[in-house]
Amino acid sequence: MTDTPDPASPQPAPPLTTRERAALKSRAHALEPVVRVGHAGVTDAVVAEIDRALEAHELIKVKIGEGDRDARVAHAATIAVRTGAAVVQRVGRVVILWRPRPELRPQASGLKSQG
């Protein structure tokens, strides 16, 4: 068994400090849920949609339709692991997720470096 990470698995989000978490909660207050998890649970399609939303927005709300509280907590944890996002807050059926955008490389973005 090797200790090399699986290239298909996303890097986990860095841990959040209390101050960072409070700032993210404040930014997320006005947001509406952009993805809804239905009765089928956390499917590959749901994870792909959450991944796309995180790439576009960095901070999103996800509404989990599962009725059981323990199942919602498990769904939130599964989503966080599969997308490499940090769970900022869980309130009822809504989960706030944050994943930092990857830094734009000058070659990839078409920008010229200053220097």
Asked whether the CA dihedral 12, 18, 20, 23 is positive or negative, the reply is positive
The two three-digit tokens of residue 30, written as one number: 């006005």
Is 39 strand, coil or helix?
coil
Eight-state DSSP code of residue 8: T
Kindly list the domain boundaries of the chain, sorted by start residue.
27-100
Rounded-to-integer distance, Cα 76 and Cα 62, Å = 9
The two three-digit tokens of residue 50, written as one number: 């959450």
Supply the pLDDT for residue 10: 72
DSSP secondary structure of 72-86: HHHHHHHHHHHHT-E
pLDDT tens column, 2-34: 444 444 567 777 789 999 999 999 999 999 999
Half-sphere exposure of 46 (CA within 13 A, CB side): 19
Supply the pLDDT for residue 15: 87
Select the CATH number that applies to the domain covering 27-100 from these four: 3.40.50.720, 3.30.110.60, 3.30.1490.20, 3.40.710.10. 3.30.110.60
Supply the pLDDT for residue 66: 74
Q: Is the entire prediction scored with pTM above 0.85?
A: no
